[in-house]
Amino acid sequence: MKIHHIPCLQDNYAYLIIDDVTKEAAVVDPVEPEKVIQAAGEHGASIKLVLTTHYHWDHAGGNEKIKQLIPGIKVYGGSIDNVKGCTAQVGNGDRVALGEDTSILALHTPCHTKGHISYYVTTVEGNDPAVFTGDTLFIAGCGKFFEGTAEQMYQSLCVTLGSLPKPTKVYCGHEYTVKNLQFALTVEPDNAKIQQKLSWAQNQQQKGHPTIPSTIEEELQTNPFMRADLPEVQERVGCNSPVEALRTIRQQKDNWRG
């Protein structure tokens, strides 16, 4: 399995997932279909599936166009998210096969939208795990609570995604990493892992390189929203429960002008 990121719009990412055996491909959130199709051609891949994380236009807005450009393509989206152009709905625990050696598991990760889906992708043997988290989990951050609660985001981030194998690579929907890490330092100013990753991310940004992917392990070390379980983080934000800490950190981030 090969994964290629495709910058779209101002700061979005679409992703191309290619099955090694068959060169069949899935694309995640192809908001600019022509770019995705060109990338597939450059890698000798044939696009068969669209995996839509949620219905917002900057993620689902290319679905109708890619259906015109690739007749018969399957477009997957969350069963309660009203995804534009969707031809096949998925819910938590549903599996989709890609080619001969790639397995895709749908994970319901609501809060940013009610029906948001993250896609956990591995080889059939369970190797090379990766998760495509849309606007639920960002590198060192999380999405705004547009349609859900802190309880839901806690479940999505800390339980559903946080329980994935630690080496799982995290591919999110936007390039927000530097700002997220700068904010993370306001929550944990003495966290050396955050300091180190911010320095690295700033260097990547200066070179015009992506800061993606991260890993679940790195997020558990540097992402304040996924660290809301920790007593020291709760103490820093004046809370005594993980959900309250996560809610408070999100409110602080919403009001932060870094």
Q: Is 135 a catalytic residue?
A: yes
Is 116 one of the catalytic residues? no
Tokens of 144: 């705004």
4 is catalytic: no
CB contact set of 224 (below 8 Å; sequence gap of 6+): 140, 183, 184, 187, 188, 233, 249
Catalytic residue among 54, 81, 101, 116: 54
Q: Which residues of 207-223 are buried (b: 16+ CB within 10 A; e: fewer)?
A: eeebbbbbbbebbbbbb
The single residue of 19, 101, 108, 112 carrying the catalytic annotation is 112
Active-site pick, 29, 81, 101, 135: 135
Q: Considering the candidates 19, 59, 81, 108, report the single residue annotated as catalytic.
A: 59
Question: What's the rounded Cα separation, in Å, for the pair 141 and 184?
Answer: 8
Residue 98: strand pairing partners: 102
43 in catalytic set: no
Burial 183-205 (b: 16+ CB within 10 A, else e): bbbebbeebeebbebbeebeebe
Which of 19, 81, 108, 174 is the catalytic position?
A: 174
CA distance to 46, 194, 199, per residue, from 177 (Å): 31, 11, 11
Strand-pair category, 12-18 with 214-215: unpaired
Task: Determine whether 59 is an active site residue.
Answer: yes
Q: Tell me the C-alpha distance between 163 and 60, whole Å.
A: 27
- Which one of the listed residues 29, 58, 81, 101 is annotated catalytic? 58
Q: State the catalytic residue, choosing from 19, 29, 56, 81.
A: 56
Q: Which residues are catalytic?
A: 54, 56, 58-59, 112, 135, 174
